[in-house]
Amino acid sequence: MSIFGSIFSKIFPSAKADPVVTASAAAAPASAATAAAPAPAVAPPPSIPLGDVPAILDAMPGASRLNWRTSIVDLMKLLGLESDLATRRALADELLYSGDKSDTATMNIWLHRQVMTRLAANGGTVPPELRD
């Protein structure tokens, strides 16, 4: 499962996120077999919102001790996911971050906004100030 998929499933355990196109999948050349196959259908966003993401996260144990609203590290900790630099760099690759991954502050801000934006795109209710 993708890192974003893990984040999504921790917030919405009974729902399924749309797949994330990874850098390796986006850069892979099309072979003759894949060129002849029809493109997979993209699932439309859910017609019913899954829930209020901030309310769900605020209700989780330990939320009051973590700054999950602005920190990708705290968000991942709240969800019980590994939040080390290697994992965040892998998430950056997964979400097609094109910036300098050694500038971790900029990358972390971008990651948090992208995660919130993608949660909203997959049916979660996320206030505009938390999204891109």
Label residue 127 by pLDDT band (50, 70, 90): very high
Query: What's the rounded mean pLDDT across residues 104-120?
Result: 97
Two structure tokens written together for 11: 């917030």
CA distances from 28 to 97, 116, 124, 129 (A): 17, 27, 30, 35
Residue 23 lies in a domain: no
Query: For the whole model, what pTM was predicted?
Result: 0.76
Output the pLDDT for position 47. Answer: 47
Instruction: Kindly tell me the sign of the dihedral angle through the C-alpha atoms of 82, 75, 16, 42.
Output: negative
CA distances from 51 to 3, 45, 126 (A): 20, 14, 9
Residue 87 lies in a domain: yes
Residue 36 lies in a domain: no
Overall number of domains in the chain: 1
Output the pLDDT for position 113. Answer: 97
- Domain of residue 66 covers 3-17+48-130
Output the pLDDT for position 41. Answer: 52
Residue 111 lies in a domain: yes
Residue 33 lies in a domain: no
Output the pLDDT for position 1. Answer: 81
Concatenated DSSP letters of 47-77: SS--EEHHHHHHTSTTGGGS-TTT-HHHHHH
Output the pLDDT for position 64. Answer: 96
Label residue 33 by pLDDT band (50, 70, 90): very low
Residue 74 lies in a domain: yes
Candidates 39, 44, 8; CA nearest to 25 is 39
**Cα of 102 vs its chain's centroid, Å:** 20
Q: Looking at mean pLDDT, say which of 9-13, 76-80, 122-126 comes out highest.
A: 76-80
Kindly state the percentage of the chain with pLDDT values over 70: 74
Residue 38 lies in a domain: no
Instruction: Note the pLDDT tens digit of each residue in 1-30.
Output: 899 999 999 999 887 666 655 445 555 554
